[in-house]
Chain A
């Protein structure tokens, strides 16, 4: 365990807490705590309303997307399965966020993934294309050709020194990660950070060439979503990442800026393969945390819980 990470975290935490205390002492009602001080927002409800409420609780989409910005939304639409399978992000989660971005004045919103199955089938059967069809300015793309990627360096990479990332992501202002909560046979769970693999060209080397947990942490040092909204309305608790498998319904949307924190909470929303785990028990999350990419311990997080 790296002590440094912890010290800073605690200090940050204390700072924030004392600031909050001071403010409330100054006569500010506690229930009006600043939304941008929340580390995590967890809202239960159906996909659309919970997503809307989560965005609201995060301080509104305008905190992340301003007028004229180019936005990329990265849902999981790697598989040509319907939403009930729990292997892809719920279409209404994607559509709700896309609509919010458009309402906030985004110049263009591209919903993007590099699918594992034929692109057309994934777009259609995941329901995401259909859900976003009527929103003007939103473009749903599943791209499979290398020409849409550009190589970047990974300066802090331990195993990865270069990686080819979607040009669209590199050229955009805002990246919002919309992962689906599910099991994964290589990484235990597949949440936000694992979902970043859908933005790169050569995923297979992660499995064959590198230690996938290190490589994922490396990737997270260069692809940094401004916001992660984890879709845990359904959780594929076995048979991941493609399913079919057991699907549970935690009915939760978890949103946050810190990708490790969101994932760490995501680990606790359901028992995976019939067992309960904590974020620290997921190797790639622990590595990411140790590399200073985010907080992993939930008791150090400011979590807002709500119902929609």
Chain B
């Protein structure tokens, strides 16, 4: 039963992950697991100092934990499921070396919880580092998803001749664009580390490190379901050995209640059937509750130490010239990202936006904006542009660090402005014939003007919303000759981007026919008919000039 529920939860998590793409229907909250996570919610609310509506979903988990107990870890958590499964696959049969100082290890997760929450209070978001849900989502995004696509494409390549012979043409030409990400190796190492820790004890992560588990264990004392032991118990200690959380004490009738995740493994292995988890224990049955809730063994001194640690950490990490001067950041953030400082505070680094990004332009940061910016999404426009017909990044953002916008609004959420680097541009620097940026620009923000007797591209900043098609398609090698810089970006916490853009007199919808600029060119080089005299005096128009490509 438990394994089934656990597998089901994992399946739902994975399915939602797969569904997180540009086709995501409005009604489907692909980020629901992350919304449900109370630690993430609390951390984001503390850091951002405001209520985040999507984070309110986590009240469901809080409520359920208060009523039922710490069931989340055993039944819902997809990370727990992954750990259990991989443990079952690879480590189960090995003998695990003994771990010394067990009691101290157990404290680690509370230490981390307090550290994360206090740093959140001080304005630095850190919980994402170890909260299992963003951690697993990141692993899925940066490692599993690209790997899965590679494998699927390999399989398709292998099957292609067969599919072709069967006449399944669509299938024989099926190919998924391969996603690629920065930080995938680091993400993989962290995940692998978590699994390897199981060498010492099962669910090492959940027992000793998981701050979400620590948070839920603090909520669990009121839970109805508690492990009860009847007098049948013959102290065979099987339950103690089997408990994945190591929650059964030396005296098997006692249990560390905060550690119990109600997986009922102990009840299953008990040869006497002496263990039960009744919601309403009947008085007549001789059973007793073993263990007490005083068991969160954390001294005031330790509490204060970890809190100070959190504050110090936050203070140090936030002490960069970037923090007070948020206009100094150099990154192009996704359209709809709130103000940079708030963005860093509310982003929980789950990677959903980067997973769902249609073009793969959203990439995780490493140290570009220091520790506060780890894994935050940036647009890598030389690699891929931002597609006009996609607004999925905001849709899947669990804390709305990227606001969910309609396509029309998103178009107006200007992320930056393209600038031409004349020293690199083929036309400006070498008088060559190239107009890819002009051709590809969806907003007609690039025009050609005759400068020094030659048609050269110029960016009209008020028409550029920073989508980056030009930067990506620029045909020169290496760095693009036209790059999007954050200058001019619009980042609103609330309100309409369309109105803001209007206020700023920006126009991202070219009115038809504004291609007239092509006609404004004094006759484009038309082979032998070129008349140099006319070029020198473009204002003396005797015959109307011809668009490019016409003779």
- Interface residues in A162-213 by Cβ distance below 8 A to B read 168, 183-189, 204-205, 207-209, 211-213
Q: Is the CB of B473 within 8 A of A245?
A: no
Q: Rank and list the top 9 A-B pairs by shortest CB-CB distance, nearest first.
A: A188-B549, A208-B475, A139-B169, A187-B549, A238-B515, A188-B550, A273-B547, A145-B175, A246-B512
Told that A247-B512, A275-B550 touch, could you supply 16 new A-B pairs with CB distance under 8 A?
A108-B167, A110-B169, A139-B169, A141-B170, A147-B157, A148-B173, A148-B175, A183-B515, A184-B549, A186-B549, A187-B549, A238-B515, A273-B547, A283-B526, A283-B527, A284-B549
B170→A185 contact, CB < 8 A = no
If A186-B548, A208-B434, A286-B551 touch, whether A245 touches B518 (CB-CB below 8 Å) is no
Residues on the A chain within 8 Å of B551, using CB: 280-283, 286
CB-defined contacts of B442 to chain A, threshold 8 Å: 242
Tell me the residues in window 107-157 of chain A with beta carbons closer than 8 Å to chain B beta carbons. Answer: 108, 110, 116-118, 121, 125, 139, 141, 143-145, 147-148
Contact yes or no, A80 B170, CB < 8 A: no
- Among A274-308, those with CB < 8 Å from B are 274-275, 277, 280-284, 286
Q: State the main secondary structure of chain B at its contact with A.
A: loop
A303 to chain B, nearest CB (A): 22
Whether the pair A242, B173 counts as a contact (CB closer than 8 A) is no
Q: Are A239 and B513 in contact (CB under 8 A)?
A: yes
**Contact at B475–A283, with CB atoms within 8 Å?**
no
Chain B residue at minimal CB-CB distance from A188:
B549
| Complex-state Cα separation, A209 to B426, whole angstroms | 10
B546 at the interface (CB under 8 A from A): yes
A68 at the binding interface (Cβ < 8 Å): no
Asked if A241 and B513 sit within 8 Å, CB to CB, the answer is no
Instruction: Count contacts on B: residues with CB < 8 A to the other chain.
Output: 44
Assembled-state Cα–Cα distance A108/B549 (Å) = 37
Chain B residues near A282 (CB-CB < 8 A): 549-551
Chain A facing B: main interface SS:
mixed
Residue of B nearest to A208 (CB): B475
Q: Which residues of A contact B527 (CB under 8 A)?
A: 283
Separation in Å of the A12 CB from the closest CB of chain B? 25
Counting CB contacts under 8 A, is B358 at the interface? yes
Q: Would B439 and A207 count as touching, CB distance under 8 A?
A: yes
Closest Cβ of chain A to B384, distance in Å, is 10
A-B contact pairs, 12 of them (CB 8 A): A121-B387, A141-B173, A147-B175, A185-B548, A187-B549, A238-B516, A242-B439, A245-B513, A245-B515, A272-B547, A281-B550, A286-B551
B438 within 8 A of A: yes
Residues of B within 8 A of A (CB): 157, 167, 169-170, 173, 175, 177, 358-359, 387-389, 426, 432-436, 438-440, 442, 444, 473, 475-476, 509-510, 512-516, 518-519, 526-527, 544, 546-551
Assess the A125–B513 pair: CB atoms within 8 A: no
Chain A interface size, under 10 / 10 to 19 / 20 to 34 / 35 or more: 35 or more
Q: What is the bound-complex CA distance between A108 and B165, given in angstroms?
A: 12
Would you call B516 and A273 a contact (CB within 8 A)? yes
In contact, A273 and B173 (Cβ under 8 angstroms): no
Complex: chain B residue closest to A145, CB-CB: B175
Say whether, besides A144-B177, A207-B439, A273-B518, A188 and B547 are in contact (CB < 8 Å): yes
CB distance from A154 to the nearest CB of B (A): 20
Q: How far is the CA of A246 from the CA of B526 in the complex (A)?
A: 25
| B residues in contact with A207, CB < 8 Å | 434-436, 439, 475
- Within the complex, the shortest CB–CB distance from B442 to chain A, in Å, comes to 7
Other-chain residue from B433, B547, B550 in contact with A211 (beta carbon distance below 8 A): B433
Chain A residues near B519 (CB, 8 Å)? 273-275
Q: Which of A121, A143, A185, A209 has the most CB of B within 10 A?
A: A185
Q: Residue among B388, B510, B526, B550 with the most chain A CB within 10 A?
A: B550
Report chain B residues within 8 Å CB of A110: 169
B475 contacts across to A, CB distance below 8 A: 204-205, 207-209
Shortest C-beta distance, A30 to chain B (Å), equals 37
When distances are taken between beta carbons in the complex, the residues of chain B under 8 Å from A144 are 175, 177
Choose one: B175, B177, B440, B512; the contact of A245 (CB below 8 Å).
B512
Known: A139-B170, A147-B157, A185-B518. A118 touches B358 (CB 8 A): yes
CB contacts (< 8 Å) of A185 on chain B: these are 435, 438-439, 515, 518, 548-549
Given A141-B170, A283-B527, A238–B548 Cβ distance below 8 Å?
no
The residue of chain B having its C-beta at the shortest distance from the C-beta of A238 within the complex is B515
| CB-based nearest A residue for B442 | A242
Contacts of A281 in B (CB 8 A): 546, 550-551
Which partner residue on chain A sits nearest B515 by CB separation? A238
Please give me the residue from chain B that is nearest to A241 by CB atom: B439
| Pairwise interchain contact B548-A208, C-beta atoms closer than 8 A | no
By CB atoms of chain B within 10 A, which of A121, A208, A241, A277 has the most?
Answer: A208
Residues of B within 8 A of A273 (CB): 515-516, 518-519, 547
Return chain A residues, CB-CB under 8 Å to B358: 118
Residue of A nearest to B21 (CB): A120
Give chain B residues whose Cβ lies under 8 Å from the Cβ of A205.
475
Identify B512's interface contact among A188, A239, A242, A275, CB under 8 A: A239
Give the most central of A205, A247, A283: most B CB within 10 Å.
A283
Chain A residues near B435 (CB-CB < 8 A): 185-186, 207
- Chain B residues contacting A121 (CB-CB under 8 Å) are 387, 389
Please provide the chain A residues from 223 to 255 with a CB less than 8 Å away from any CB of chain B in the complex. Answer: 238-242, 244-247
The smallest beta-carbon distance between B89 and chain A, in angstroms, is 34
State which of B175, B389, B434 has its C-beta within 8 Å of the C-beta of A80. Answer: B389
Task: Name, among A143, A187, A188, the residue most crowded by chain B CB atoms within 10 Å (CB to CB).
Answer: A188
Q: Tell me which residues across on chain B come within 8 A of A241, comparing CB atoms.
A: 439
Q: Are A116 and B175 in contact (CB under 8 A)?
A: no
B522 to chain A, nearest CB (A): 15
CB neighbours (8 Å) of B426 from chain A are 208
A80-B389, A147-B157, A185-B518 as given contacts; A208 in contact with B436, CB under 8 Å: yes
Give the docked Cα–Cα distance between A240 and B515 (Å): 9
In the assembled complex, the CB of B382 is this many whole angstroms from the nearest CB of chain A, namely 14
Of all chain B residues, the one with the shortest Cβ separation from A239 is B515
Q: Do A183 and B547 have beta carbons less than 8 Å apart?
A: yes
Are B513 and A238 in contact (CB-based, < 8 A)?
yes
Q: Are A283 and B549 in contact (CB under 8 A)?
A: yes
